[in-house]
Amino acid sequence: MSPRQPLLPALGDAPLAPFPPTRTALTKPNGLLAWGGGLEPERLLTAYRQGIFPWYSADDPILWWSPDPRCVLFPRQVHVSRRTRRKFNSGAFRLEADSTFAGVVSACAEPRAGQPGTWITQDMQQAYCALHRAGYAHSVEVWRGASLVGGIYGIALGRMFYGESMFSREPDTSKIALIALCQYLHAANFGMLDCQVPNPHLQSMGAVEISRQEFEARMQGLLAEPGPPGLWTGLLQVQHRW
């Protein structure tokens, strides 16, 4: 963390304290913009509307990021391999939305191979569950019978979706969740899914990098469009074919 990056005040001290301009974010580490503050719904929604997101370890202060370039996925361009297509169309899985948001977040926070801990702390889980109750955060679940085997969650504002995390308890079930989410986003005229930073898993499914300037321009246009209200329960309860 650089001492040049501003410390945000606690929300109670300055409820509308602005974030610094995203152009002031560091290049090393890429995108570090500010630190401190809290995870109250007001601050999180303000951050996402500016293309800023929190990402930090349990022993760190809250760190706020705006990387350049930005990894995104355009819903209509999601890539589906033949193997994943067969699984998606097999009928072995049931797809739902917002049926167990807290369960998806908790599963995403579970330790993963090669990772000593998780960035989805208890405070983060509580913060996103509060956004879910307010109608801003949504999840897609993949079920095999009564078992939750995959999922993804994020924030929907206007016609913009900000992906946060996904998980698999069986091979390819996070991919199935992402495909189902993209199907819905495309059908509902969402123009972009924010993936934040690239990784091979996302890139194999069609995620690309665009400049911060392009990301923010596209985002602001999508935020200006009214989004679907309320929870998404029931939208994916019928298995879709690809």
What the block records as the tokens of 35 is 């630190």
Q: How confident is the model at residue 119 (pLDDT cuts 50, 70, 90)?
A: confident
CA–CA distances in Å: residue 218 to residues 84, 162, 180, 210: 29, 13, 23, 10
What confidence score (pLDDT) does residue 6 get? Answer: 61
Q: Which of 66, 41, 38 is nearest to 155 (CA)?
A: 41
pLDDT of residue 12: 45
Q: Higher confidence at residue 20 or residue 113?
A: 20
More confident call, 191 vs 11:
191
pLDDT exceeds cutoff 50 at 51: yes
Residues 6+ apart with CB under 8 A from 203: none
Comparing CA positions, the residue from 154, 214, 165, 166 lying closest to residue 190 is: 154
DSSP secondary structure string, 190-241? Answer: --EEEEES--HHHHHTT-EEE-HHHHHHHHHHHHTSPPPPS--TTTT-SPPP
The region that residue 187 occupies, defined by phi over 0 for left and psi between -120 and 50 for alpha, beta otherwise, is: alpha
- For residue 101, give the nearest of 67, 121, 127 by alpha carbon: 127
**Protein fold of 71-223:** Aminopeptidase (3.40.630)
Please give the Cα distance from 113 to 3 (Å, whole number).
33
Query: How many Å apart are CA 240 and CA 56, to the nearest integer?
Result: 36
The whole-number average pLDDT for the span 115-124 is 78
What pLDDT does residue 167 have? 97
pLDDT tens digits, one per residue of 128-174: 999 999 999 999 999 999 999 999 999 999 999 999 999 999 999 99
Cα–Cα dist 129/213, whole Å: 30
Average confidence (pLDDT) over 94-98: 95
Instruction: Using the predicted structure, report yes or no on whether residue 1 has a pLDDT greater than 60.
Output: no
pLDDT of residue 60: 87
- For residue 220, what pLDDT is reported? 98
> What does the pLDDT look like over 221-234, one tens digit per residue?
999 999 988 889 87
Q: Looking at beta carbons, which pairs linking 79-85 to residues 24 or more positions away fall under 8 Å?
A: 79/204, 79/205, 79/206, 80/179, 80/205, 80/242, 81/204, 83/172, 84/172, 84/175, 84/176, 84/179, 85/242
For residues 234, 140, 136 and 100, what is the CA-based torsion angle, rounded to 10 degrees?
A: 80
- Would you state the pLDDT for residue 239? 46
Report residue 238's pLDDT band, with 50, 70 and 90 as the boundaries: very low
Sign of CA dihedral 70, 110, 57, 120: positive
What pLDDT is attached to residue 37?
Answer: 87
Q: For residue 115, what pLDDT is reported? A: 59
The pTM is what? 0.91
What does the pLDDT read at residue 234? 74
| Spans of all domains in the chain | 7-67, 71-223
Answer yes or no: CATH 3.90.199.10 is held by domain 7-67. no
DSSP H/E element including 151: strand 147-157
Measured CA to CA, the distance from residue 65 to residue 199 in angstroms comes to 17
What integer best gives the mean pLDDT of the chain? 90
pLDDT reported for residue 17: 75
Instruction: Write the pLDDT tens digit of every residue in 171-197.
Output: 999 999 999 999 999 999 999 999 999
**Helix or strand (DSSP H, E) at 166:** strand 160-168
